[in-house]
Amino acid sequence: AGKGEKYFQGVMPMGRFQNFEDFLSLFPVKPRDKIRAGFNVICPAHADRKPSLSVTQNSNKILLDCKAGCGVESIVEALGLTMSDLFLDHSPSPSKKIVATYSYHNAEGKLIYEVVRFEPKGFSQRRPDGKGGYIWNLTGIKPMLYHLPAILKAIRHNDRIYVAEGERDADRLWGLGLVATTNPMGAGKWKEHYSDTLKSGNMVILPDNDQSGVDHALSIANSSYGKAKSIKLLEPFKDSIDVSDWLDNGHSVEELEALVEN
């Protein structure tokens, strides 16, 4: 890990970044070039050999400009952040506490990164630093499906795989004896290589009951068409936000399986 990478243990400052220096610490000190309003650093969204990403500040907002043409969203995603993380929070406030950790392992079962949920509500990503701590970004990490080793086993055994929106829903289904997965970072973040991973799999896609959830489910189905062995796209659960909410409202795993069969 470079000297500029930031580490946190257990708690993280409210607002993700409280000042420009906090954000800049995501990038290695070398190579880093000082410019009038900030710094040029290595861009995490492409194979950058010399600093081509300018990082500057305008009031309480971080500005990113890659000279190679990488979009701001792709840069933010490569850092394991969200667009809202570009807004600094200068106000003193209580620390966010980790309330859930979702571990992502590669095909061999090695821990590659984690998605961390905080209270007050918020999410971030971290990867092991090899020294017992964590680096709070996914720079250089190719994101993967949740529960990947078990998903690959399910494909080999021709088992049904439920694709939910979010780790909480996937874990809820696992607790009921179903094989379930999700992509990291939520709706709208499905990638083509996730569909490649599910090639020859029997997929059941469970949309959340809002427009972004429906759009997300449709994008998964379209991306996986012609790759998966079978795809079943369920309708959003009536009077429920998502599958966990639907189960909390008194429905059973048997009812879910019946919906799939019908």
- Hey, where are the domains in the chain? 11-86, 96-135, 148-261
For the domain covering 148-261, report its CATH number. 3.40.1360.10
pLDDT band (50, 70, 90) for residue 6: very low
Average pLDDT estimate for 106-128: 88
Percent of the chain with pLDDT over 90: 61
Least confident of 1-5, 196-200, 202-206: 1-5
Determine the pLDDT at residue 5.
Answer: 33
How many Cα atoms occupy the beta-carbon half-sphere of 26 within 13 Å?
A: 31
Average pLDDT estimate for 35-55: 90
Q: Which residue has the higher pLDDT, 188 or 95?
A: 188
Determine the pLDDT at residue 66.
Answer: 95
Determine the pLDDT at residue 11.
Answer: 35
Measure the CA–CA gap between 182 and 143, rounded to whole angstroms.
11
pLDDT band (50, 70, 90) for residue 94: low
pTM of the predicted structure, to 2 decimals: 0.70
DSSP 35-47: ETTEEEE--TTTT
Measure the CA–CA gap between 118 and 110, rounded to whole angstroms.
24
Which residues, in sequence order, are CB contacts of 41 under 8 Å at separation 6+? 24, 27, 28, 31, 32, 33, 51, 53, 55
In the numeric block, which tokens belong to residue 111? 């821990």
Measure the CA–CA gap between 161 and 181, rounded to whole angstroms.
7
Read off the pLDDT of residues 243-256 as tens digits, 9 standing for 90 and up: 999 999 999 999 99
Determine the pLDDT at residue 32.
Answer: 84
Q: Determine which helix (DSSP H) or strand (DSSP E) holds 161, and give its type and residue range.
A: strand 160-163
Task: Please state the φ and ψ torsions of residue 124, each to the nearest 5 degrees.
Answer: -155, 170
How many Cα atoms occupy the beta-carbon half-sphere of 251 within 13 Å?
A: 19
Q: Which residue has the higher pLDDT, 150 or 89?
A: 150
Average pLDDT estimate for 66-87: 90
Determine the pLDDT at residue 30.
Answer: 77
- Single-letter amino acid code for the residue at 130: G
Answer whether residue 111 shows pLDDT above 50.
yes
Least confident of 5-9, 180-184, 217-221, 254-258: 5-9
Residue whose structure tokens are 């939910």: 164
Determine the pLDDT at residue 37.
Answer: 82
Average pLDDT estimate for 65-75: 94
Which residues, in sequence order, are CB contacts of 257 under 8 Å at separation 6+? none
Which residues, in sequence order, are CB contacts of 73 under 8 Å at separation 6+? 83
Measure the CA–CA gap between 138 and 78, rounded to whole angstroms.
6
- Single-letter amino acid code for the residue at 237: F
pLDDT band (50, 70, 90) for residue 2: very low
Average pLDDT estimate for 200-229: 96
Which residues, in sequence order, are CB contacts of 1 under 8 Å at separation 6+? 129, 130, 135
Determine the pLDDT at residue 216.
Answer: 96
